[in-house]
Chain A
């Protein structure tokens, strides 16, 4: 693990010297956070209309009336809570999507900068190299998600109706942010690193790596349209699928990482 820590320290030093690389992730996270406030707080304030009066949002009241954690909230707070929770997957996925460029550049970037050969000449194993590369992109992305979650919670506590923030403490929200989000991020970034070690162009890696975001984005859309209900059971099921997927991706990544062709055939 010393070698993983060594390479990880190098990845973070690189980010420290080039913080601009995470600017897209910060912007995406900020926009993702602002969006639900716009819908749940700003628009009702401008129009003077109550969200709970809208028949389109009755689903929120139906969903939360039976939930113990939400009991005692007034209907307006319940609808706001529903909106804030619906946007939670976006908050989780945005930093991952944005940090995809870091993962996509992981191997091909080293090759293009001609830094890969001296690195491969050290005793580092393929597993250690790939793990460090994935963690180098994952830790900042997940860290940003967690920070965003705290800021999101503070924003809700300050700007939304009293008690709305309780929705973030629901197992469904916590499961999404602390289990599903990091696992999905790990899978997406692993895929990007895998692809990065097989293509000779970082853009290809980024585009292919982004594919794994699509099913999760679909989940978000499904939830917003009411087609999918992201229940605790579904979150647990998805988490198990993602754990298995991550294990497979690590094995596939190691199998696909062909030192020889990376060194001799890439131009």
Chain B
């Protein structure tokens, strides 16, 4: 639905984004991860048609987005900026109504009322935006982003600075957007959030360091490993495991970490070898690496390179 092809953006001599290529389909939550200044916001702005790439292209439903049709693209995209960006002196209703008119909605008043009902804002409709809490402001900003029913939703740090309850509400809403078959691009530092809701992840540091599902990234960087806890010194079982066809084994105190090609197929064999050599097994679990491990490994590898 939306794709970036060799997207590059320079500001003078500084390269903000270099050669980023990815595609986003309907019903996907695509997370852009990266440290501060990695080019996440610049990428979102290029996808929203707000700034033009120095090189490369953005395609929307197969059509290249350029100077001539950026306005048409913006009508199909909803962008939630990092700051809520509400007009403080205007009421919630006035804020939303202005955007309903700007998007040329056929029934702006009804659309705003529906939106306020959906986002639980009806009782604050006549309050000035300045009087709202940060969480409520973000909710109004989200309502504004989705007011014109966009196919593509770009969210820049949507839960940044929100309390846990508000953050959860926003996450639930993002998941709902996916269920509505919209394409969602999410820029965030919150790895836990990405772990919970993203279908695919791109790690960006000017260049795309990796793009895949969280599980595929974990498998690619750390492989599949089994963690076996035994009574006594685990190192004693390393020779037996190596002889039994499991050469990549490390031990730490009473714990063994064993590389496997397929956990389901290899687990019974590992257990058999250990039991045959007198191990008293306490537990056998697949090793889980967090997305944070993946992210830090990618960033560290890139810095080393």
Question: B-contacting residues of A (Cβ < 8 Å)?
Answer: 2-3, 5-7, 9-10, 13-14, 17-18, 113-125, 259-260, 263-265
Interface string of B94-129 (1 = CB under 8 A from A): 100011011110000000000000000000000010
Cα–Cα, bound, A18→B101 (Å): 22
A residues within 8 A CB of B98?
6-7, 9-10, 13
Query: Can you name the residue of chain B whose Cβ is closest to the Cβ of A21?
Result: B89
Q: Nearest Cβ distance between residue A115 and chain B, in whole angstroms?
A: 5
Q: Contacts A123-B72, A125-B71, A263-B50: A118 and B103 contacting too (C-beta < 8 A)?
A: no
Among residues of A, the one whose C-beta sits closest to the C-beta of B12 is A265
A14 with B75, Cβ < 8 A, contacts A117-B85, A121-B81, A124-B102 known: no
Q: Kindly provide the distance from the CB of A256 to the nearest chain B CB, expressed in whole angstroms.
A: 17
How far apart are B137's CB and chain A's nearest CB, in angstroms?
11
| 30 sample A-B contacts, Cβ–Cβ < 8 Å, listed by A number | A3-B104, A6-B102, A7-B98, A7-B102, A9-B101, A10-B90, A10-B98, A13-B90, A13-B98, A14-B90, A113-B85, A114-B85, A115-B86, A117-B79, A118-B85, A118-B145, A119-B85, A119-B102, A120-B50, A121-B48, A121-B77, A121-B79, A123-B71, A123-B72, A259-B50, A260-B52, A263-B50, A264-B11, A264-B51, A265-B11
Which residue, of B52, B71, B85, B128, has the highest number of chain A Cβ atoms within 10 A?
B85
Check if B74 sits within 8 Å of A121, measured CB to CB: yes
**Please, what's the 1-or-0 string for B68-94, where 1 marks a CB less than 8 Å from any CB in chain A?**
000110110101010101111110001
Q: How far is the CB of B268 from chain A (nearest CB, A)?
A: 55
Q: Does A123 lie within 8 Å of B102, measured CB to CB?
A: yes
With a CB–CB cut-off of 8 A, which chain A residues contact B75? 123
In the complex, what residues of B have CB within 8 A of residue A17's CB?
A: 89-90, 128
Interface SS, B side: mixed
Contacts of B51 in A (CB 8 A): 259-260, 263-264
Interface size on B, residues (CB 8 A): 32
| Bound-complex Cα distance A28 to B71 (A) | 42
Question: With A10-B94, A13-B94 as given contacts, are A121 and B128 in contact (CB-CB < 8 Å)?
Answer: no
In the complex, the answer to whether A117 meets B90 with C-beta atoms within 8 Å is: no
How far is A5 from B104 in the complex, measured between Cα atoms in Å? 11
* Nearest 9 CB-CB pairings of A with B: A6-B101, A17-B89, A114-B83, A121-B79, A10-B98, A122-B102, A118-B85, A123-B71, A115-B85
Q: At the interface, yes or no: B45 with Cβ under 8 Å from chain A?
A: yes
Residues of B within 8 A of A123 (CB): 71-72, 74-75, 102-104
- Does B141 sit at the interface, judged by CB under 8 A? yes
A-contacting residues, B35-54, CB 8 Å: 42, 45, 48, 50-52
Output the least CB separation between B296 and chain A (Å): 29
B205: CB under 8 A from chain A? no
B144 contacts chain A at the CB level, 8 A cutoff: yes
Closest residue of chain A to B81, judged by CB?
A117
A5 touching B90 in the complex, CB below 8 Å, given contacts A115-B85, A121-B48, A263-B50: no
Residues of B contacting A119 with CB < 8 Å? 85, 102
| In contact, A118 and B88 (Cβ under 8 angstroms) | no
Q: Are A263 and B144 in contact (CB under 8 A)?
A: no
15 further A-B contacts with Cβ under 8 Å, apart from A14-B87, A118-B145, are A3-B102, A6-B98, A6-B101, A6-B102, A10-B90, A117-B81, A121-B48, A121-B50, A121-B77, A121-B79, A122-B99, A123-B74, A123-B75, A263-B45, A263-B50
Please measure, in the bound complex, the distance between the C-alpha atom of A46 and the C-alpha atom of B104, giving whole angstroms. 62
Chain A residues with Cβ below 8 Å from B128 are 17
- The interface residues of chain B lying within 8 Å CB-to-CB of A117 are 50, 79, 81, 85
Choose among A3, A115, A124 the residue with the greatest number of B CB atoms under 10 Å from its CB.
A115
B74 and A14 within 8 A (CB):
no
Report the minimum CB–CB distance from A117 to chain B (whole Å).
5
Point out the residues of chain A lying under 8 angstroms from B103, CB to CB. Answer: 122-123
**Residues on the A chain within 8 Å of B104, using CB:** 2-3, 123
- Chain A residues whose C-beta falls within 8 Å of the C-beta of B145 in the assembled complex: 118
Question: Which B residues lie within 8 Å of A265 (CB)?
Answer: 11
Contacts of A13 in B (CB 8 A): 89-90, 94, 98
The interface residues of chain A lying within 8 Å CB-to-CB of B85 are: 113-119
Q: Give Cα A96–Cα B68 distance, bound, in whole angstroms.
A: 36
Partner of A118, one of B52, B71, B144: B144
B241-263 interface with A by 8 A CB criterion = none
**Residues on B with beta carbons closer than 8 Å to the beta carbon of A2:** 101, 104
Complex Cα distance, B86 from A260, in Å, reads: 21
Tell me the minimal C-beta distance from B261 to chain A in angstroms: 47
Alpha-carbon gap, A153 to B48, bound state (A): 54
The residue that B81 contacts in the complex, of A114, A124, A264, with Cβ under 8 A, is A114
